[in-house]
Amino acid sequence: FANDIYRRSIAPRIHQHLSESQLDHNVLVISRTVTVLTLVGSILLGWSVMHMNVTMLVWAGVGGFTAALMGPLVFGSLWNGVTRAGALSGFLGGAISFILIHAQIISGHWLKGTALEDAGQWFAFYAQSPYSAATMGGLISVALCYFVSKRTTPLPEAHLQNVNSNK
């Protein structure tokens, strides 16, 4: 974080007046602070999920990445029409939908008493599983990637030829 984000992105914009030694000092302080915060966060996270099945815990993390990357990475490798905006919207849409589905912030129980009650019961049952939440989030990611890409400026043909060449 300190070197890649602070030194290369933030410091050139807001701390260009600092000497190299002052910049090194800031990087060291940021690095140590982030390390301590990461350790504390990891301890708290580990303590709060001690009761969980390890496989389900791992898939709760992997599922978010799977959902986020299914559109831009997997679908994008199969279809040359994916645009930058399509890839970003697919990534964000997949990740956010996975979180909302798996954390049950979006609930199938909302559909009780409607014509869609059966679909709501199905959704409520499967949303608890990180595998199902990843699949639903991934499908949302692919759909967003496709529909946003269809409505935005395509990538230049030269770029696509460069990406698809067998170097």
Angle 15-18-19 from CA coordinates, rounded to 5°:
150
Round to whole Å and give the CA distance between 164 and 73.
Answer: 14
3-state SS string over 126-145?
Answer: HHCCHHHHHHHHHHHHHHHH
**What is the spatial distance between Cα 122 and Cα 30, in angstroms, rounded to a whole number?**
47
To 10 degrees, the CA torsion angle through 95, 36, 50, 126?
Answer: 0
Residue type, 36: V
Other Cβ atoms closer than 10 A to 115: 7
| pLDDT confidence band for 16 (50 / 70 / 90) | confident
pLDDT digits (tens, 9 = 90+) for 113-127: 898 888 888 888 888
* Other beta carbons less than 10 A from residue 23's beta carbon: 16
Q: Quick one: pLDDT band at residue 167, thresholds 50, 70, 90?
A: low
Residue 15 predicted with pLDDT over 90:
no
First CA to last CA distance, the chain = 32
pLDDT score recorded for residue 164: 78
Mean pLDDT of 143-151: 97
Mean pLDDT (whole number) for 136-155: 95
In angstroms, the Cα distances linking 41 to 44, 45, 68 are: 5, 6, 23
Maximum separation of any 2 CA atoms in the chain, in Å: 67
On the question of pLDDT at 129 being above 70, the answer is: yes
Q: What is the CA radius of gyration of the chain?
A: 21
